Amino acid sequence: MPTETHLLSDYPPDAPISAGEVAAAVRSAGRPPRIFVVLDDDPTGTQSVADLPVLTRWETEDFSWAFRQGKPAVYVLTNTRSLDAPEAAARNEEIVRNALAAAAAEASALRLGFVSRGDSTLRGHFPLEPDTIAATVLDATGESTDGVVIVPAFPDAGRITIGGVHYVRAPELGEDQLVPVSDTEFARDATFGYRNASLAQYVEEKTGGRVPAASVIVLDLGIIRAGSTGGGAPASARAIADAVADATGATPIVADVVTENDLRALALGLEEAERRGKKLLYRVGPPFMRARIGQEIRAELTGSEAYAGNEPSTAGGLIVVGSHVGVTTRQLGILTEQHQHAHTIEIDVEQLLDERAASHLDGIVEDVVDRLTHGDVILHTSRLLVRTSDAAASLRIARTVSAAVVTVVNRTLGLFPPRFVIAKGGITSSDVAAHGLQIRHAMVRGPMLPGIVSLWEPVDGPAKGIPFVVFAGNVGDDSSLADVTRKLSSTF
């Protein structure tokens, strides 16, 4: 099993690069402002950024609202990881067309960049989503995409790329240990599984051989950190821009990243490449946009900051757990063990799949509302995962379960709004936000834990003023869910 220290011994150290240096490059004189439109396949992509608008609807008027906020990026919650391929493609196309139409209607010129935010463990609709975005941009504007930049790294959550291979840090196996992502539970995903941790080979695998691994441009740490012992960021920016100069026809470009400095060096190099005329599209993990726009790492929010500007309700909070990955189940166990004043309610998935569903949900809603009058409620789906080898059937089951969670949250909101809502799991967070809480427009305020858990403030609709926490299923340590709940709860 490789160690991080051993793999990094072949490369120079990273160079310190400030967020301000990247922000200054992005704001370069003589160019109209550019807004990155981030098509986020589940809402957890916002966990590394702060003070940016997020949409769960994507009509042109929604984009107009977002563009008027004057921010360098807007997140659009597509939830495509819960859709089949044709639905995901159609949604990506609709969003891109509406964003371009809204930008064209603005009084001042706007340049748009498009980002397909995917999973840091390589799950999701790839290459379908970046392919669809590139094709739609070409059809709508006549502009072709030279390169698709693939950066799944998420150092805050222990996912890094070295030598073109994507790894997960595994301290439980020993200090400094790394596991190729292809050897983790994520690679065995029923819908989006894969065999390769080498990103070039992953591209070949997922494109069915249409794009050979040998044709993928690999920006290894030797390029990302070029000149770091003396030349600094400008030298690495030139090296990166030079390395992608031959990209054409949506050439895949994969990048090594181990630290925030690596992300910022990459951002400077890609900005230089685009300044030279390269048309790039991005398929990235959560922290990429923070670096790409030159945003500082936001310190984790305190409980009082989470409620700033809003009077907390006297009701209990609602913690909704839908994810089934191992870390989520462990986090749920710690939360229920430590939060002795909370009431735990289970949604029985097997009952959702037969004629008992309606009466089961009626009872759940009644119980949740009653218990919220006394304190926090932990609502979770049963931990026994209903498995099937058929990918389409797996998605149907996931949708049924998610629809049930949404029903409970939405009916609870109408009867007795909770003090706060935490949603654990990507699809769970997306559906709870868009349908359970009926959030249409929100602002990402920042992380509840360093770089990995996002707080949204709904700015309209029935959930306005209720802090909503987006908590990915596959991040955090065993106590993280309890830690976030403790910040927001009045009884923990």
Is 32:109 a contact under the CB 8 Å cutoff? yes
Bond from prior residue into 127 cis (ω within 30 degrees of 0)? yes
pLDDT at 37: 98
DSSP 43: G
How does residue 429 score in pLDDT terms, banded at 50, 70 and 90? Answer: confident
- Helix or strand or coil: residue 307? coil
Q: What is the DSSP letter of 124?
A: S
What pLDDT, on the 0 to 100 scale, is given for residue 172?
A: 84
Report the predicted TM-score, pTM, of the whole model to 2 decimal places: 0.90
Q: What radius of gyration do the chain's Cα atoms show?
A: 22
CATH number assigned to the domain covering 303-488:
3.40.980.20
Residue 387 has pLDDT above 60, yes or no: no
The 10s digit of each residue's pLDDT in 242-271 is 999 999 999 999 999 999 999 999 999 999
pLDDT reported for residue 473: 83
pLDDT tens readout for residues 107-127: 787 899 999 999 999 999 999
pLDDT at residue 391 in the model: 66
Structure tokens at 402: 């998610």
Alpha helices in 373-443 (DSSP H): 391-415, 426-431
CATH 3.40.980.20 domain position(s) in the chain: 303-488
The per-residue pLDDT for 29 is: 56
**DSSP secondary structure code for residue 46 in this structure:** G
Q: What is the structure's pLDDT at 279?
A: 97
The pLDDT > 90 percentage for the chain reads 77
Instruction: With H, G, I as helix, E, B as strand and everything else as coil, classify residue 167.
Output: strand
279-334: per-residue pLDDT in tens?
999 999 999 999 999 999 999 999 999 999 888 889 999 999 987 778 888 999 99
- CATH superfamily for domain 4-292: Putative sugar-binding, N-terminal domain (3.40.50.10840)
The Cα–Cα gap between 174 and 193 comes to: 26
Cα separation, 367 vs 356, whole angstroms:
17
Helical segments of 244-279, H only: 260-275
Q: How many helices (H) and strands (E) does the chain have?
A: 17, 18
Instruction: Take residue 228 and report the two structure tokens written for it.
Output: 């770091």
Q: Please give the backbone phi and psi of residue 4, each rounded to the nearest 5 degrees, phi first.
A: -65, -45
What percent of the chain clears pLDDT 70, i.e. is strictly above it?
96
Mean pLDDT of the chain, nearest integer: 92
Phi, psi of 309 (to 5 degrees): 85, -5
Residues of the chain with CATH 3.40.50.10840: 4-292
Question: Residue 232 has what pLDDT?
Answer: 59
What is the SS3 assignment for 177? strand
If pLDDT is split at 50, 70 and 90, which confidence band does 438 have? very high
Give the containing element (helix H, strand E) for 252.
strand 251-255
